[in-house]
Structure 1
Amino acid sequence: MVGMPENAALSVGDLVELDLTGIAHGGVGVARHEGRVVFVADAIPGERVRARITEARKKSFARAATVEVLDPSEDRRPHIWPEAGLERDPAERPGGAEFGHIALPRQRALKAEVLTDALRRFGGLGTDALRDLGGGVLQVESLPGDAEAEAPGLDGTTHTSAPGLGYRTRVRLHVDPETGEVGPYAARSRRVIRTASLPLAVEEIGWIAPLDEAISEAEAVDLVSPSADDPRMLVSYPGERRRAGADDPVRESVGGREFLVRAGGFWQVHREAPVTLFEAVRDAILELAGSDRFDPGAANLDLYGGAGLLAAAVAEAAGPGLRITTVESDPGATDDAAENLADLVGALTVTARVDRHLAELRAAAAPVRERLRRGTVVLDPPRSGAGGEVCAGLGEVAPANIVYVACDPVALARDTATLRELGYTPVSLRALDLFPHTHHFETLAVFLRD
């Protein structure tokens, strides 16, 4: 510790020298100070850094932010977002690009470490099972085009830049309640930070982003750049009962197929994510069909179905004889799914909470239950995962196969443990880097009923 007596307690503002030994879920490095775990932002495992303590309320761990790198990793790069670099005070750095100082191959290796650790610790999977799932070693796949991405310049033009930039088609900014200034939040804070650029955003968002403006009385600004429609700026105000853009339909193109979605609704943010997930789910269904495990005429389900993207992927693999019900709690998304799946005779869209729909299915008549047991479930839950109640419902409905799209590795691992207890075995897994320069990524896992 710099300037403090040996064995002194850590306090906010203290400077400490730390050796980074690992990575934790959430994109922070792991170090120890006198036996106490310290989670360190803006560092890379293997580095020695000087860091400022930012949180020390818990006896078991503290949080810190790097202010100086004493022994840098060979994978350290100048931060892709100048405002998030070490030159700024940690409290002045915008959040949302916590891996922006790390070379992309190392970013993906760190994400693979987090996934492997989560599946081992929370999913109960041993070395052999993990090796079989990953075909040897779990890897995180990059998406097409990241290396050639362009990012908006400050003058509105574009420039070829570091790999993995210029991919976000949806960006949320916040408004300072006192000044009206618009920008992202600081990391682990609700403090609005002014920035001159949005390097992860596509060019069209750079055109309309109000980074140098003040918007009085607003709460948030959502910037949306649909692949087959004009960009939108959606302004939210306190007390509004409907989210901005809820009634604004826009068009998205996925592999030549057009989808209707709400500008203010959910859609994957990486420009290549919709087609990547579409193809990943389609290929998983084709593989199940190739082993005679997929029955297109069974009671197949698409849970947390959104606008119907993944149900359409199942349909492309299964052909015209498919029967599938897509379940989504957002009425607007269900309406969009009905439109997007209108050409599928066997598709049904239902507005309902997934747990409640599964409860209804558990009480269905015997012939329906049998069709459910022959079916395949695709589910794409929120970041918190499916959870115990939904997994228990799946266990009672007992579909033959589950294709699980996860955006959080720990949630996936916990649900994996639950599904294994319910008689499901994970047989394949793909990790996809849908969020370069952040700690987030997507995972697709296939489970078979024993």
Structure 2
Amino acid sequence: MIYQDTFGFAQQQDEQDELKSFRDEFLFPQHNGHKVIYLCGNSLGLQPKSAGQYIKIQLDNWENFAVEGWFMGDDPWLSYHKALLPTLSGLLGANDREITVMNSLTVNLHLLMVSFYKPTNKRFKILMEAGAFPSDQYAVESQVRFHGFNPKEAIIEVTPRAGEVTLRTADIIAQIEDNADEIALVLFSGINYYTGQLFDMESIVKAGHKAGAMVGLDLAHAAGNVPLQLHNWGADFASWCSYKYMNSGPGGISGAFVHERHFANDKLNRFAGWWGYRRDKQFLMQPGFDPELGAQGWNVSTSPVVLMAMHKASLDIFEKAGGIVPLRKKGDLLTGYLEYLINNINQKQGEEVYRIITPKDQKDRGSQLSVVCKRDARAIFDYLAQNGIIGDWREPDVIRLSPVPLYNSFTDIYHAAEGLFKALGATNA
């Protein structure tokens, strides 16, 4: 697409957008009587208008059936999770049995590391990207300490080259190869939350397995944002959250992926609970844990049906939109348009006042641009917020802007760039 820095161009693209109707399926905060320009879906997605209805149905079931709601009604709670799996399997590139819906992201990472981080005196290290989201860092630190190792010795962090912000795939693979005899686990993000870099997950999985390590993926910023092929890539496990690009509510239910080759491996440790017991014998209440075959065998606690209902409200919108492929196409166009407009601002200023640190190549990013403000960064962010443009602030000088294809428009992007331009004058006044 040949972009143009005009409001008319943005309007024309919105008119031609085959996905434009989905914007009307979400609720926007208001600013001075108008919808805000919401570019913070990488932190918390907007609320689907249908979410309240989906919750109300389950509240009605609770009212009408009470405990029998587990077995009665149109969507009995005991099997409610199954309604989420077909859409999730398409978004994640997995088969239904490789997915379960449970807990929150960091809890799931801990549970999965119980199974897939099996250190020995020789092979005990975990390799991850430097600057991973803090929760991942804390989880990994506590896991290695739990096994009696020193995090300074057991954690390998892959850092960018001097003068660079993002990682090169070749450097990640080289680190794996250089430490092949000692790595027990490679745990990498699908997309780095700070830079917005989309990693080559397939190559990382392949390199980790060649080194004899297990490989897990944190898909917090990737699920519902970019195409994934967890089964074909061969990842051992993965987890994600649903409240960012999947718009399933603050603290929304997470999920976990376990590759089917591990289903029959009785040598894997796991922290067990009744909800992971094989379903055909679950109510016999027998001693001795006999897991359900598949990822659901990693479940621990009873399904939170109301959270699942919020999740389903959003997943049904993904299904109506045709899944991740058309959404990714529009997401690339929106993100490319924002990049183009920011570069135009720099040209008008005669200097790079806004530096985009997210990779330029579309194959190396999703719907996010991380923008370094070279002067008055916090004041610029505050100016945007005061004018109804909602992004995400990261210390010390980064504004993350995420054009989400389900509900953002080209005119949103035009107005956001207009706000970035005007903020320069307002903060210098």
TM range (shorter): 0.3 to 0.5
Structure possessing the higher relative contact order (Cα contacts under 8 Å, 6 or more residues apart):
2
TM-score (norm 1): 0.35
**TM value normalised by structure 2:** 0.37
Q: Which has the higher helix share?
A: 2
More strand by share: 1
